[in-house]
Chain A
Amino acid sequence: MDKLGSSTKRALVIGGGIAGIQASLDIADAGYEVLLVEKTPSIGGHMLQYSEVFPTLDCPQCIGTPKMVEVGQHSNIRILAYSEVESVSGTIGDFTVRIRRRATHVDWDRCNGCGLCLQKCPVKVPSEYNCFLPFDNRGAIYIPFAQAVPNKPVIDAQTCRYFKYRRFMEEGEESKKPPECRICEKVCPLGVIDWEQQDEIVEEKVGAIVVAAGFDLMDKGEIGEFAEGRDIINGLEFERILCPSGPTAGVVMRPSDGIEPREVVFISCVGSRDPELGVPYCSRVCCMYLAKQALLYKHAVPDGQAYIFYMDQRTTGKGYEEFVRRAVEEYHVMYLRGRVSKIFRDGDRLRVQGADTLSGRRVDISCDLVVLGMAMMPSAGFKELARKLGIATDEYGFITEIHSKFRPMETSVPGIYVAGTAQGPRDIPDSVAMGSGVASKVLDLFSRDGVGSPL
């Protein structure tokens, strides 16, 4: 085997979700350095947004936070949060990566995360972490959630009053002069607010790259026949509503007016398995999380009624089928076999026009809340990242593995690997398994003296 010189035994992991966290920990525990790049201000990924997770109903904040803390404290892991990969050059064993560290306007090296600034910021805007739901807001200076790692704030220059003031003074951008504010700066005991901070490009050498960039959900607006409205929400939004640490403190209420929903309709395969919308594939997790959400809804509202429209029940994991049977038999969740054709507002409720092909009947339901199991798609901006990495993706934007059976974690570029939903829809156990799997590929590479021929 050809030797191509010595390799840099240091890994770059792109994406701080559960797959990226697992890969980082496994590589770091084996004694190698890891750079973990995360585009939001904290690692944790979507899993940290969930309420209890199927089928065991563990609290993801409880089981996820120790892992996040471990990453944060690991001597071999350096987290570059609020950062994105700018460019990649080089080959296996010897990549040069340029990373944009977005300006946080807070000197993280000196900030101790006391949180005084968060309490005093007068701006209140909907939070990304809470899917922009009402009931709870963040400030212009914010930490996305209590268990964030790193637990340091960022200033959102778009909504910050002082930045608005500066834009007004420089460009006259706002129509009337905003207050100068700077309250965060005044209350900060350490003087770490840095208004002049700019984005910074850092260059790093790594020998292997793990892409764990995760997923986003298809936009609800794609489904023209479903009305627009605050009470038609996606699965991620309902996770936040169910979550005890969410914007409603786990009290189930509908977003428009805060009332407790008496009837909730869950719809599977919205956007998924819909080639006319460009997504012929199955998103794999919706069958389970909708069953779980219906069950948790029944925990919260025992006399409420949950309906789930489904096409096929794909419950292939360990304990999954048993879980769905519990939802049906113990919690009386009513499964309806069919799709929904239209949802519209009629008075202060929603009308759902569906079909139940098992009874051969059209079924119409009046309800208070509709939860859409939207299709999983590659995360926003992933196409651009894949282009920078030079790795092949399929027509939907997921990473194409080099061999679907025997090399499922290797991309078309040697030394660049994939874990989690960046390769295709999968659930938490599969993403974690893939995170460990990809770490073994990286460790295999690092265990060699040089780097073997890429082929």
Chain B
Amino acid sequence: MINLNYYPGCTLKTKAKNFEDSAIASMSALGIALIELPRWNCCGASYCLAEDDLIHQVAPVRNLIRVKSQESRVESQGEGDSRLQTPDSRLLKVVTLCPFCYNTLKRANLIVRNDPGKRDTLNSFMDEEIDYHGEVETVHLLEVLRDDVGWEAIAKKVKVPLEGLIVAPYYGCTLIRPREIAIDNVERPTVLHRLMETLGATVVDFPFATECCGSFQSVSNPELAAETAWNILTLAQRQGAEALVLSCPLCEYNLGFQQKLIRRRHGEFKGIPTPYFTQLLALALGLESCGFDRGYTDSRALLQSKGLLS
């Protein structure tokens, strides 16, 4: 078993527990133990875009410092060998699952790496035991699956191929925008496609794979966010998808939970399940803890009809 630092973030401990549970179980089955960081704090969720505002970068950078100090603790205990390395051995790796956390940690790290003045201000303000210079590389779980585990290795572990299941992969925004931190091609990402194909599912061409779901506008303008979600969901259905595969808890709220609101606005709208990719991964790996009973939408009837779930 290889260990990998893991930053969960707030939502995965509450509303998206099924996302986290299915990810941890799947990775374990693939030989990677996700080791939760001690004393992590909220990443700030939405990256601050103001040039003159550094205070909102403190939260993400503190989390990166946690990774650095955790790593030095592990090294002093001589456990360094069993940890997943980055290609650049000087970098320390931390994996995220929530795309908002991924985005915020990754972009805050760019400030530390690219702006020495801001880096020094942040270090002196935080007054931690160690200074931080950008040594941590934040990666997303999809990158680990693609780059470290590999499609072939995953394919070998598949016990329940998702045969007959037709899915539309949906990336949302924060994993692939902006370009500097994208885990894949900004306009034509393939990682989720490849994962679903590896698990045996059929993937439809889905032009709205990177279209925004409305994001946090669902708090202040739920009707508008529901309208954007309706656009996305109905295109997926027209393309023949039976499920929309997600990678973000906020997308699941907007595209899953808000289907009730969409149905009120568009009477003809028929729902579509919105499982996380980790749930389908866990299912295909033959694991019990897929958490299909805890989603905003229910994928169970669909999966049962395909004989994938009893």
| Chain A interfacial positions (CB closer than 8 Å to B) | 224-225, 227, 342, 344-347, 351
Residues A346 and B185 in contact, CB atoms below 8 Å apart: no
B238 to chain A, nearest CB (A): 7
- Considering the chains assembled together, what is the distance between the CA atoms of A225 and B208 in angstroms? 11
A20 to chain B, nearest CB (A): 38
Residues A224 and B207 in contact, CB atoms below 8 Å apart: no
Residues A346 and B187 in contact, CB atoms below 8 Å apart: no
Residues B188 and A344 in contact, CB atoms below 8 Å apart: no
Residues B188 and A346 in contact, CB atoms below 8 Å apart: no
B104-145 interface mask toward A, CB cutoff 8 Å, 1 = contact, 0 = none? 000000000000000000000000000000000000000000
**Residue among B188, B205, B208, B238 making CB contact with A224, cutoff 8 Å:** B188
Residues B238 and A345 in contact, CB atoms below 8 Å apart: no
Residues B185 and A224 in contact, CB atoms below 8 Å apart: yes
Which 3 A/B pairs are nearest by Cβ-Cβ distance?
A: A224-B187, A344-B207, A225-B187
- Considering the chains assembled together, what is the distance between the CA atoms of A128 and B157 in angstroms? 47
**Residue among B186, B207, B235 making CB contact with A227, cutoff 8 Å:** B207
- Considering the chains assembled together, what is the distance between the CA atoms of A224 and B190 in angstroms? 13
- Considering the chains assembled together, what is the distance between the CA atoms of A345 and B188 in angstroms? 14
Interface size classification for chain B = under 10
A343 to chain B, nearest CB (A): 9
**13 other A-B residue contacts (CB within 8 Å) besides A224-B187, A224-B188, A227-B207:** A224-B185, A224-B186, A225-B187, A342-B207, A344-B207, A344-B208, A345-B205, A345-B207, A346-B207, A346-B235, A346-B238, A347-B238, A351-B207
Contacts of B205 in A (CB 8 A): 345
Contacts of A347 in B (CB 8 A): 238
B209 to chain A, nearest CB (A): 10
List residues 140-196 of chain B with CB under 8 A from any CB of chain A: 185-188
B208 to chain A, nearest CB (A): 8
- Considering the chains assembled together, what is the distance between the CA atoms of A1 and B222 in angstroms? 82
Interface residues of A, dominant DSSP? strand
- Considering the chains assembled together, what is the distance between the CA atoms of A351 and B234 in angstroms? 15
- Considering the chains assembled together, what is the distance between the CA atoms of A342 and B208 in angstroms? 10
| Chain B interfacial positions (CB closer than 8 Å to A) | 185-188, 205, 207-208, 235, 238
A80 to chain B, nearest CB (A): 42
Contacts of A346 in B (CB 8 A): 207, 235, 238
Task: Give 14 A-B contacts (CB < 8 Å), ordered by A residue.
Answer: A224-B185, A224-B187, A225-B187, A227-B207, A342-B207, A344-B207, A344-B208, A345-B205, A345-B207, A346-B207, A346-B235, A346-B238, A347-B238, A351-B207
B178 to chain A, nearest CB (A): 12
Residue in chain A with minimal CB distance to B210: A225
A354 to chain B, nearest CB (A): 15
Contacts of B207 in A (CB 8 A): 227, 342, 344-346, 351
Residue in chain A with minimal CB distance to B185: A224
Contacts of A224 in B (CB 8 A): 185-188
Contacts of A342 in B (CB 8 A): 207
Contacts of A345 in B (CB 8 A): 205, 207
- Considering the chains assembled together, what is the distance between the CA atoms of A345 and B206 in angstroms? 9
- Considering the chains assembled together, what is the distance between the CA atoms of A227 and B208 in angstroms? 11
A370 to chain B, nearest CB (A): 14
Contacts of B188 in A (CB 8 A): 224
Residue in chain B with minimal CB distance to A225: B187
Contacts of B185 in A (CB 8 A): 224
B200 to chain A, nearest CB (A): 25
- Considering the chains assembled together, what is the distance between the CA atoms of A108 and B205 in angstroms? 50
A365 to chain B, nearest CB (A): 15
Residue in chain A with minimal CB distance to B205: A345
- Considering the chains assembled together, what is the distance between the CA atoms of A351 and B188 in angstroms? 17
Contacts of B238 in A (CB 8 A): 346-347
- Considering the chains assembled together, what is the distance between the CA atoms of A225 and B207 in angstroms? 9
- Considering the chains assembled together, what is the distance between the CA atoms of A345 and B207 in angstroms? 7
- Considering the chains assembled together, what is the distance between the CA atoms of A351 and B207 in angstroms? 10
Residue in chain B with minimal CB distance to A343: B207
Residue in chain A with minimal CB distance to B235: A346
Contacts of B187 in A (CB 8 A): 224-225
Residue in chain A with minimal CB distance to B211: A342
Residue in chain B with minimal CB distance to A276: B179
- Considering the chains assembled together, what is the distance between the CA atoms of A227 and B238 in angstroms? 17
- Considering the chains assembled together, what is the distance between the CA atoms of A344 and B232 in angstroms? 13
B239 to chain A, nearest CB (A): 9
Interface centre among B207, B208, B235 (most CB of A within 10 A): B207
- Considering the chains assembled together, what is the distance between the CA atoms of A151 and B159 in angstroms? 63
Contacts of B186 in A (CB 8 A): 224
- Considering the chains assembled together, what is the distance between the CA atoms of A351 and B231 in angstroms? 13
B118 to chain A, nearest CB (A): 25
Residue in chain A with minimal CB distance to B206: A344
- Considering the chains assembled together, what is the distance between the CA atoms of A237 and B90 in angstroms? 50
- Considering the chains assembled together, what is the distance between the CA atoms of A93 and B186 in angstroms? 53
- Considering the chains assembled together, what is the distance between the CA atoms of A342 and B207 in angstroms? 9
- Considering the chains assembled together, what is the distance between the CA atoms of A432 and B207 in angstroms? 44
- Considering the chains assembled together, what is the distance between the CA atoms of A225 and B187 in angstroms? 6
Residue in chain B with minimal CB distance to A351: B207
Contacts of B235 in A (CB 8 A): 346
Residue in chain B with minimal CB distance to A228: B188
Contacts of B208 in A (CB 8 A): 344
B75 to chain A, nearest CB (A): 41
B107 to chain A, nearest CB (A): 19
- Considering the chains assembled together, what is the distance between the CA atoms of A225 and B186 in angstroms? 9
B228 to chain A, nearest CB (A): 13
- Considering the chains assembled together, what is the distance between the CA atoms of A310 and B115 in angstroms? 39
B67 to chain A, nearest CB (A): 32
- Considering the chains assembled together, what is the distance between the CA atoms of A69 and B131 in angstroms? 76
